[in-house]
Amino acid sequence: MKENMKKIEETMRLSISEVFEKMFYIFLEPLDDESDEYDMEAAIRFEGSLSGEIRTLLSIEMAKAMIQNMLNIEEDKITGHDIEDCLKEAVNMICGNFLGKFDSAKVFNLSMPVFSEPSLFKKEGVEGLSDEKSRDSGLSGNICRMDFDSDSGRICVIIEVS
């Protein structure tokens, strides 16, 4: 599985870069350090010849830049609904791009993307999706985490396969 995880990581990095450059006009630089200082999260599950989950964690600055670049909406006109829709669509596009590159001959079933704002959960004392100790994805597989920075903010993408 270690060799397969290397292919998964390489394919995922390419997919993330393509989606962010083509859809959001944001150029990402890989980071070596990990941060858990993210404001929101979107996730999607997939099943097929490869099954798992992709999670994206983003700063509010990154989310606003994505919306401004994709939809040409001024920052003061961005709503919470715009943010949720954009991030759910982004994780859906990353997943579709990744699966198409990883195994284009197979059919995959995707869940509906989900969105949360972990920072709000922490403030209210409720455990959110980004709380790794409390979060049980139901998967028991290998995990690959990739952190990126840009002029627009930070993003982390985690893929877990079983």
**CB atoms closer than 10 angstroms to residue 36:** 10
- pLDDT score recorded for residue 33: 83
Tokens of 125: 């004392």
**CB atoms closer than 10 angstroms to residue 107:** 9
- pLDDT score recorded for residue 135: 40
- pLDDT score recorded for residue 24: 97
Q: Which domains are assigned to the chain?
A: 2-161 (3.40.1550.10)
For 126-150, the pLDDT digits (tens) are: 333 444 433 444 445 699 999 999 9
Rounded alpha-carbon distances, angstroms, from residue 155 to 34, 44, 95, 108, 126: 10, 16, 15, 25, 23
Residue for token pair 């994709």: 70
- pLDDT score recorded for residue 141: 62
What is the block-wise mean pLDDT of the chain (162 residues), using blocks of 10 residues? 85 98 96 86 96 96 95 92 96 97 93 83 40 42 91 95 91
- pLDDT score recorded for residue 119: 53
Rg (CA), the chain: 15
Opening angle at CA 139, ends 7 and 110, nearest 5: 70
- The pairing of beta strand 52-58 with beta strand 153-161: antiparallel
